Amino acid sequence: MHIPVLQKEVLKYLNPKPNQNFIDATVGNGGHTLAILEKVLPKGKVLGIDWTPEMISTLPRRNNLILVCGNFANLKEIVKQKRFNQVQGILMDLGMSSWHLEELGKGFSFLKREPLDMRYNPHNQLTAEKIVNYYSYFELERIFSKYGEEKFAQDIAEKIIEERKKRPIKTTLQLVEVIRQAVPKSYLRTRIHFATRVFQALRIAVNDELNNLERGLAGAQEVLNKGARIVVISFHSLEDRIVKNFFKSDSFQLLTKKPIIATYQEVKINHRARSAKLRAVIKL
């Protein structure tokens, strides 16, 4: 069963009340969305956005819930198209759902054999396979360093170039084996799986996640009225840095001077919550 991360904290900082309108810009499995919807009934509405068509199609249809398959980078345009006005708050949960890892079959997980795809949306032309098999050494090294903060980025990029000359790297497990051969043996025994950072970097590059986040935050600021709230949950330092810097603007009042993290009890129940950081602001 899907467990929404930091749900109590989301509701606390969004502070939804009956008959207000809210946006969940990253619906996912709908846990946060439906919790917000319960708070704003009977006349309030929730606009739910997700880039993955399968997520939108499997969500339950509810009164006062408007679902859109789209990228929150285009938040301003979506709000205008749906004529969704008087928005009191926006949630962005930037985490990849367990469904993406376990069910979608697009190569997000390094633990099972799947095609190297990593697209949230099939209309996206770029795939992880294209990056791995056609990008230059310098482009690969930059992606692994910048988006994965991978200290062995150079070695991994070199090994990929070497191996793809023999045969194309088409599956997750092929890539994992290439990474295994590229890094020192001591790196294989660290707490974090040795392929984690490369897979994160490829996912971010394929879906242009950091640029989309910047655009989404800017759009959120534009569509909100004075006194409305933005709550963002990030899962790695690159996202959190963007959110933290954006919220430093004079346009906002900080509700969280330091990021809110999950309790020990929540992490015990939901392992995904261990790296979650929640930041919240009020628009001035």
The pLDDT tens digits for 125-167 are 999 999 999 999 999 999 999 999 999 999 999 999 999 999 9
Count Cβ atoms below 10 Å from residue 143 Cβ, excluding itself.
22
Claim to verify: residue 89 and residue 163 sit in the same structural domain: no
Q: Tell me which of 51-60, 65-74, 273-282 is least confident.
A: 51-60
Claim to verify: residue 190 and residue 213 sit in the same structural domain: no
Residue 2 lies in a domain: no
Look at residue 99 in the predicted model and tell me its pLDDT.
63
Task: Name 96's Cβ contacts closer than 8 Å, sequence gap at least 6.
Answer: 108, 203, 235
Last residue of a domain, one of 207, 222, 254: 207
Claim to verify: residue 79 and residue 90 sit in the same structural domain: yes
Helices 196-207 and 209-223, axial angle in degrees (round to 10)? 50
Claim to verify: residue 201 and residue 261 sit in the same structural domain: no
Residue 1 lies in a domain: no
SS3 call for 182: helix
Contact 19, 40 (CB under 8 A): yes
Write out pLDDT tens, residues 156-201.
999 999 999 999 999 999 999 999 999 999 999 999 999 999 999 9
Claim to verify: residue 157 and residue 189 sit in the same structural domain: yes
SS3 call for 267: helix
- Phi/psi of residue 7, each to 5°? -65, -45
Look at residue 74 in the predicted model and tell me its pLDDT.
98
Claim to verify: residue 89 and residue 161 sit in the same structural domain: no
Look at residue 270 in the predicted model and tell me its pLDDT.
87
Contact 72, 25 (CB under 8 A): yes
Residue 271 lies in a domain: yes
Tokens coding 143: 């992606």
* Residue 224 structural domain: 7-99+209-283
Tokens coding 128: 């992880």
Look at residue 100 in the predicted model and tell me its pLDDT.
64
Number of Cα atoms under 13 Å in the Cβ half of residue 59: 26
pTM value?
0.94
The model's confidence at residue 104, banded by pLDDT at 50, 70 and 90, is low
Task: Name 238's Cβ contacts closer than 8 Å, sequence gap at least 6.
Answer: 147, 149, 204, 210
Tell me, what CATH number does 119's domain have?
A: 1.10.150.170
Indicate the residue type of 53: P
H-only helix segments in the chain: 7-14, 31-40, 53-58, 75-82, 98-102, 128-134, 137-148, 153-166, 172-182, 196-207, 209-223, 237-246, 264-269
Mean pLDDT, rounded, for 12-21: 98
Give the count of domains, the chain. 2
Contact 211, 219 (CB under 8 A): no
Claim to verify: residue 38 and residue 121 sit in the same structural domain: no
Claim to verify: residue 196 and residue 220 sit in the same structural domain: no
Write out pLDDT tens, residues 203-235.
999 999 999 999 999 999 999 999 999 999 999
